[in-house]
Structure 1
């Protein structure tokens, strides 16, 4: 009798990226966790353990500059996600000062937007709702466009560019030549659009986030034109695409766990810990990357200086050494310090906004949809492996009640 050979870290990483495994990559993550720090055939390191990922997210020797040979942009022209201090800290401080005050007190407005989107489907009889196209997609794109000062009529264009650009976050070797060409075209379209928007604000500034970034009161903190454009592109994607997946993945978890759906329907406060569990159980961002600025000792192994590091955030969120029953969806899980928004100095700037959007949307779905059920399970998924979520999520229901009316 022959003994099956355990798959290597290289094989497991490749399997996690394959589209046929997009609906459920978690068995492959579970296998990764048997060796939480593993070297791959190309010399990069696959990190899947929770504690090891946390250590590297907080280690200053773990650089956000991923040593990507495909990235030809000068370091100063890269987004703050790919920057180290001191430039990272400078850019993040400016964005935080302008972004955070504008999202405080937005919950009522977010509730109005969610209600408006669902009201379009309110009726007396059975129907269907595509959670992605009808709610999870238009909600955050409307919000980020309002914050940036993008004209309402341009929202569809802005959203389309975001969807096309997120494919570029995946490893290059998973993309076809046609996809790479389309990515370059989308980047060019976004640059042209943003330059036009910036030109308009130079002569007609407003009270939006773009104007705030352009006319920061501290002249030493003002971004140069390239940094401004790159930062706007980052906010477009990070402020939109991750929230789409968070709402869609949360809806999927609710409909697969009808007892949790019933609890949320009668207890809307459950939405707060429930969203944290979605971020752990099925996070919108599955993995991230770093590179070693020096030799790093971790879990009895040394990652050599200059090595590329792949942080498997979604695997760390299912690490049994950190979370009890990690494969169970526990909506009120205690001590849920997940990796859904990363960690360290690169912790997601938009985490507060994304949480609020998801909490309000999921509570409304539970409250207003009578007898909801998935039409297709699993649903079709998007191509993206890093920003992972359903392409479509069609939910059938007996009735979509008016807001304020109890759902059955």
Structure 2
């Protein structure tokens, strides 16, 4: 038995903080593979896995490349351009609308919902975020249900259709499970990719030698993406519940205790990485924990990394000079998700 559980919706206090057991957001999270353990988790993941395999991501690459190029064409060049709003936020939600079978013209609406849903994994929630995440869960759920009904009548080559038809050990997903996990995919794919692009670009701008190295050898991004993930992780921590007493050094974590696992700190452990506070795209043997590990390793990690590689490659190809417009940057006020509210840059073609 795993000594740590992800099933936070079973915790009455956690559920109550988010609106109660029957609130839209808590009902949704009870079906998220992110918050299931054991057989239930394996079933959900097994049904969704084929959409996120390396082969599937390779087949998707031309479509993603076209999306990145179109968004950068719209962004253009000039002074004081917000790289978060104009690029980083646009790419993943546009890709996932296409992948998921949702209209691309609704990407801003989907992004509004996923921004609100992201607060569900915050260690604490206030009344404003609680109301926003429940409104988003209800509205997004109804929206996905409408498109799911259309796909049932007319299947396409997209995530909704594949999840409707998928079988694992003779079982299929219920409509509620599909709706909840499509929400989760949008939220997870959006948060990780936006912050990987934003945090990674800020890291390169503050280490001009590394940005210069990437210009001289664009192939560095193939492995260098893991260094960007290590240096400034989009997800800084994950939370678990101890299912039994666990001994760590001379301390005992009692069964039932909440455990915060600091991924960002582990990524900069000096026992694992020499000079860990330095960004080095040529750093050998980089294995960041930014996407978690074990059974709950992020199912969309390959897609997020593929999108980010394309973005960084195109940025250095397209712009001869990229500089910060302002030294001061604004971070989003969240504990576990580390990302910029905006990143103002000057882009010279």
TM-score (norm 1): 0.78
**2:260 alignment partner in structure 1:** 310
Higher relative contact order (CA 8 A, sep 6+): 1
- Aligned-partner Cα distance in 1 for 2:67–2:28: 38
- Counterparts of 1:285-364 in structure 2, within 5 Å, are 285-364=235-314
Whole-angstrom CA distance in 1 between matches of 2:69 and 2:176: 38
2:5 aligned with 1:63, yes or no? yes
> Which secondary structure state, in structure 2, belongs to the residue aligned with residue 330 of structure 1?
coil
**Counterpart in the other structure of 1:114:** 68
Q: How far does the alpha carbon of each residue in 1:332-379 deviate from its partner, in whole angstroms, 9 at most, with x for none?
A: 111212111100110011111111111111122222223221122231
Do residues 96 (structure 1) and 40 (structure 2) align?
Answer: no
Higher helix share: 2
- Tell me by how many angstroms 1:169 deviates: 2.0
Q: Which 5+ residue runs of structure 1 have no aligned equivalent?
A: 1-58, 401-408
Aligned length: 337
Query: Shift of residue 129 of structure 1?
Result: 2.5
Equivalent residue number for residue 171 of structure 1 = 123
**CA deviation after TM superposition for structure 1 residue 281, in Å:** 0.9
Q: Is the 8 A contact 1:79 1:231 kept in 2?
A: yes
Task: Please give the root-mean-square deviation of Cα atoms over the aligned residues, in Å.
Answer: 2.0
- 1:347 and 1:113 map into 2 onto residues whose CA distance is 26
- Which string of whole-angstrom CA distances, capped at 9 and with x for unpartnered residues, describes residues 291-311 of structure 1? 111111222322111111111
Deviation (angstroms), 1:240: 1.6
Q: Deviations over 1:117-158 (max 9, x none)?
A: 2222446xx434211111111111111111110012222211
- Contact 2:198 2:339 (C-alpha < 8 Å) held by counterparts: yes
2-structure distance, mates of 1:265, 1:228: 42
Taking the aligned partners of 1:139 and 1:230, their CA distance within structure 2 comes to 22
**Which residue of 1 is the match for residue 18 of structure 2?**
none
Give 3-state SS (helix, strand or coil) of 1:133's partner. Answer: helix
* Gap change, CA 1:76 and 1:137, over 3 Å in 2: closer
Displacement after TM superposition at 1:283 (Å): 0.6
Aligned partners of 1:194 and 1:229 also within 8 Å? yes
Q: Secondary structure at the match of 2:38?
A: coil
Q: Give, in angstroms, the shift of residue 76 of structure 1.
A: 8.8
- The alpha-carbon deviation at position 290 of structure 1 amounts to 0.8
Q: What are the equivalent positions in structure 2 for 1:211-230 lying under 5 Å apart?
A: 211-217=161-167, 220-230=170-180
Report the counterpart of residue 143 of structure 1 in structure 2.
95
Q: 1:130 aligns with which of 82, 85, 92?
A: 82
Q: Tell me by how many angstroms 1:219 deviates.
A: 7.8
- Residue 330 of structure 2 aligns to a residue in which SS? coil
Cα distance in 1 for residues equivalent to 2:64 and 2:200: 17
SS at match of 2:108: helix
CA–CA separation in structure 1 for the residues paired with 2:30 and 2:180: 7
Contact 2:323–2:345 under 8 Å retained in 1? yes
Q: 1 CA distance for matches of 2:99 and 2:187?
A: 13
Separation (CA, whole Å) in 1 of partners of 2:205 and 2:233: 17
Q: Deviations over 1:18-39 (max 9, x none)?
A: xxxxxxxxxxxxxxxxxxxxxx
Q: Does 1:256 align with 2:256?
A: no
SS in structure 2 at match of 1:220: coil
Q: Determine which of 131, 137, 147 is the counterpart of 1:197.
A: 147
- Three-state SS of the structure 2 residue aligned to 1:391 is strand
**CA pair 109-63 structure 1, distance change in 2 beyond 3 A:** same
C-alpha separation in 1, matches of 2:212 and 2:61 = 23
Is the 2:81–2:344 contact (alpha carbons within 8 Å) kept by the matching residues of 1? yes
2:319 matched residue in structure 1: 369
Q: Which residue of 1 aligns with 2:112?
A: 160
Contact 2:163 2:178 in 1 (8 A): yes
Which structure 2 residue ranges, 5 or more long, are not aligned?
16-20
Q: 1:223 to 1:256 in 2, by over 3 A?
A: same
